[in-house]
């Protein structure tokens, strides 16, 4: 199973939990909200397809007893709180967020709708949850090791290019999850004796992978 499929399967299980906790009722249609800071997670997106497949395996089938309600900020994070309000008005049963800005907007805008976070970085370090064992509030979802892996990736890059002396790091400066990954890589660069050229931007499509210069 590919890494993305594994993660989205876990998201599917987490997303199904609020439905199950409310007890699946015969004849009822459940509403799944999707919120992203970037472009829409469309029908052909592998994350969406795998998530819906996982939910179907738990009895929640899109087009039968499940309706997907999507909202996307299209790189305008200032719209997120309004989009959460729209999802609330749509009476969604759960909100799945993609990215830290989307997760933060959902957390600050609703207390009574379960939130499943994905792609939001370390939820403890970013303050989304109190702790992994006891998250608190209405948030569950998937944590990740990207912050720690950022440093390791730089170390591997240095091993592959022994003469490496400088790297450019491009990341979304408006996303705290990505910023923490950058800081981890920057700390590793100091230890490795590599200089870092910072290229923080505010685009949700930017990756935090280092590039050799």
Q: Which residues make Cβ contacts (< 8 Å) with residue 65, sequence separation at least 6?
A: 28, 29, 30, 59
pLDDT for the residue numbered 197: 78
Cβ(181)–Cβ(206) below 8 Å: no
Name the DSSP letter for residue 62: B
pLDDT at residue 208 tops 70: no
The more confidently predicted of residues 21 and 81 is: 81
Distance (Å, whole) CA 25 – CA 185? 48
Q: Look at residues 2, 55, 58, 67 and name the one whose alpha carbon lies nearest to residue 30.
A: 67
Give the start-to-end residue ranges of the domains of the chain. 3-141, 146-212
Structure tokens at 17: 């939990």
Q: Using the structure block, give the residue that is written with the tokens 């199973």.
A: 1
Once rounded to an integer, what is the mean pLDDT over residues 126-144? 80
Helix pair angle (80-89, 100-109), 10° resolution: 60
Instruction: Count CA atoms closer than 13 A to 112's CA, side-chain side.
Output: 6
Indicate if the pLDDT at residue 116 is higher than 70.
yes
Cα distance between residue 166 and residue 115, in whole Å: 40
pLDDT the model gives residue 129: 83
If one looks up domain 146-212 in CATH, what number appears? Answer: 3.40.50.2300
Which of 54, 83, 55 minimizes the C-alpha distance to 69? 83
Q: Kindly report the average pLDDT of the chain as a whole number.
A: 80
The predicted-structure confidence for 166-191, as pLDDT tens digits, reads as follows 888 777 777 777 777 777 777 778 88
Sequence-distant (≥ 6) Cβ neighbours of residue 14 within 8 angstroms: 116, 140, 141, 142
Residue 46 confidence (pLDDT) above 60: yes
Domains 3-141 and 146-212 share a fold: yes
**Is the full-model pTM beyond 0.85?**
no
State in words which class domain 3-141 has: alpha beta
Looking at residue 5, what is its pLDDT?
54
Cβ 208 vs Cβ 197: under 8 Å? no
pLDDT for residue 10: 53
- In the chain, what percentage of residues exceed pLDDT 70? 83
pLDDT of residue 212: 46
Q: Residue 138 corresponds to which tokens in the numbers above?
A: 């209405």
pLDDT of residue 205: 47
User: Residue 17 pLDDT > 90, yes or no?
Assistant: no
pLDDT attached to residue 209: 42
The predicted-structure confidence for 49-91, as pLDDT tens digits, reads as follows 888 988 888 888 999 999 999 999 998 999 999 999 999 999 9
């Amino acid at each position: 199973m590919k890494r993305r499929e594994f993660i989205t399967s876990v998201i599917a299980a987490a997303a199904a939990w609020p439905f199950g906790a409310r007890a699946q009722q015969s004849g009822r249609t459940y509403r799944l909200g999707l919120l992203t800071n970037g472009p829409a997670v469309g029908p052909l997106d592998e994350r969406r397809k795998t998530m819906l497949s996982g939910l179907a395996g738990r009895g929640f089938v899109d087009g039968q007893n499940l309706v997907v309600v999507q909202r996307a900020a299209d790189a305008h994070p200032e719209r997120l709180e309004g989009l959460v309000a729209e999802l609330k008005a749509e009476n969604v049963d759960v909100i799945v967020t993609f990215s830290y800005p989307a997760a933060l907007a959902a957390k600050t805008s609703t207390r009574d709708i379960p939130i499943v976070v994905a792609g939001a970085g370390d939820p403890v370090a970013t303050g989304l949850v109190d702790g992994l064992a006891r998250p608190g509030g209405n948030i569950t979802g998937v944590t990740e090791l990207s912050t720690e892996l950022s440093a390791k990736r730089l170390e591997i890059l240095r091993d592959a290019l022994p003469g490496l002396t400088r790297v450019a790091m491009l990341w979304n400066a408006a996303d705290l999850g990505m910023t923490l990954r950058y800081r981890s890589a920057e700390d590793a660069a100091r230890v490795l004796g590599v200089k870092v050229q910072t290229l923080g931007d505010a685009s949700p499509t930017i990756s935090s992978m280092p590039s050799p210069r």
